[in-house]
A and B are shown apart, each in its own frame.
Chain A
Amino acid sequence: MKPKKRGKGILSRLLMAFFFRRKTPKIGIYGPPNAGKTTLANRIVHTFVDENEDIGAASDVPHETRRAVRRSGIMVDLKSKSVQSPDPNHGSDPESKEKGRKGGAKGKLKLDVVDTPGLATKIDFHDFMAYGLEEEEAKKRAKEATEGVIEAIKWLDDIDGVVLLMDATEDPYTQTNVVIIGNMEARGTPVIIAANKVDLADAAPERIMNAFPQHTVIPISALKGENMERLYEEMARRFR
């Protein structure tokens, strides 16, 4: 019996890896303004990269994110300790903490996360003045916000999967949400709907489930870290 040539196996594996390498999927976090997109993006980075690194600044003022921001090379490891025990600085309420679940999705998934500006059909500078901005500053922010919406739409061409974030305290049946879902269905791009802000008393994620029964809807609180493990499992399953 001839001895096995180990060198050939390594070489063929390297060649296979070179010629058939899979690109890292780019996952866009989309949704209307103030749904919590940046909070979710930060949560993902805190969990899997560095708890001190932020993708962007979250704020109560709409259109805080006015440029799409891509964080490359995030290794979603469902067995990592940080998934089982969320960042203690975010969500000190013991009930809000994720519980380690047995038998979840297996393995790791490397992905790029793109935090996008909120999609809207209207941007009125008066709305920013209601948050205390001076008129000139409000007009400047409104102009930048319109550019942000265009940028978010352009990014759809380069996105491999979408986490559509909706505010579970708001009516989900907005045309913006319908348009995003319709576009993803037409492109055949996988979508996961995350019903955010379930830590709030008036949250009703079942409204979102009823509005979009053909899609997976996962209730979460990106701020408090509730049910994040289930979202990560679904991401690992759908975006692989």
Chain B
Amino acid sequence: MEVKMDLVSEDKINSMGSMEKLRFVLDGVKSGNIVVLEGGLTSEEQMKLIELTMTEVNEDFPGIEMNGYPTKRGFLNLRRKTRLTVIGPANTMRTIKKENDLISAIISAI
């Protein structure tokens, strides 16, 4: 069985509103896709995504596996720059190693 990956550009993500962005990600993941966001989600968006996910967990959808690189401080340490975020269905994706600049995950079809 194949697993689909959506590699989403930062431009596309930035063109969406906050809720639109989360809905886009969760719909993709619930369809069984691995969603990779260039530029990533902020911590606040990730927390909202967890909250939204919990409202939709059921017997067929146990939730998400999410990983990303920590944010970097931007100009004059004022702006936090988000980096890549990877989100997939919890029953398909499993993180095996995560470091500051490396994420290793196993993706297995159900």
Where the two chains meet, the residues of A that have a C-beta atom closer than 8 Å to any C-beta of B are 119-125, 139, 142, 146-147, 149-150, 153, 156, 171, 173-176, 178-183, 185-186
Contact of A149 among B50, B68, B99 (CB under 8 A): B50
Residues of B in contact with A, size category: 20 to 34
**A121-B53, A142-B57 known; A183+B63 contact, CB < 8 A:** no
Cα–Cα, bound, A173→B101 (Å)? 12
**A124-B90, A124-B91 known; A173+B66 contact, CB < 8 A:** no
Which residues of the other chain, A, contact B57 by a CB distance below 8 angstroms? 122-123, 142, 146
Contact present for B65 and A183 (CB under 8 Å):
no
Contact present for B47 and A183 (CB under 8 Å):
yes
Cα–Cα, bound, A156→B68 (Å)? 22
Which residues of the other chain, B, contact A121 by a CB distance below 8 angstroms? 50, 53, 63-66, 90
Which residues of the other chain, B, contact A181 by a CB distance below 8 angstroms? 43
Chain B residues 41-91 with CB under 8 Å of chain A are 42-44, 46-47, 50-51, 53-55, 57, 59, 62-68, 70-71, 80, 90-91
Contact of B98 with A by CB under 8 A: yes
Which residues of the other chain, A, contact B91 by a CB distance below 8 angstroms? 124
Contact present for A124 and B71 (CB under 8 Å):
no
Where the two chains meet, the residues of B that have a C-beta atom closer than 8 Å to any C-beta of A are 42-44, 46-47, 50-51, 53-55, 57, 59, 62-68, 70-71, 80, 90-91, 95, 98-99
Cα–Cα, bound, A185→B98 (Å)? 21
Which residues of the other chain, A, contact B43 by a CB distance below 8 angstroms? 178-179, 181-183, 185-186
Which residues of the other chain, A, contact B71 by a CB distance below 8 angstroms? 182
Cα–Cα, bound, A176→B54 (Å)? 14
B51 to chain A, nearest CB (A): 5
**A179-B43, A182-B71 known; A173+B98 contact, CB < 8 A:** yes
Contact of A179 among B47, B62, B80 (CB under 8 A): B47
Q: How many contacts between A and B, using CB within 8 angstroms?
A: 76
Which residues of the other chain, B, contact A180 by a CB distance below 8 angstroms? 47
Which residues of the other chain, B, contact A186 by a CB distance below 8 angstroms? 42-44, 80
Cα–Cα, bound, A175→B47 (Å)? 10
Cα–Cα, bound, A142→B60 (Å)? 12
Which residues of the other chain, B, contact A149 by a CB distance below 8 angstroms? 50-51, 54
Which residues of the other chain, B, contact A120 by a CB distance below 8 angstroms? 50, 63
A75 to chain B, nearest CB (A): 32
Contact present for B70 and A178 (CB under 8 Å):
yes
Contact present for A150 and B42 (CB under 8 Å):
no
Contact of A122 among B47, B51, B65 (CB under 8 A): B65
**A173-B99, A182-B42, A182-B43 known; A124+B63 contact, CB < 8 A:** yes
Contact present for B90 and A175 (CB under 8 Å):
no
Contact of A153 among B51, B63, B64 (CB under 8 A): B51
A207 to chain B, nearest CB (A): 12
B100 to chain A, nearest CB (A): 8
Contact present for B55 and A119 (CB under 8 Å):
no
Contact present for A146 and B66 (CB under 8 Å):
no
Which residues of the other chain, B, contact A146 by a CB distance below 8 angstroms? 54-55, 57
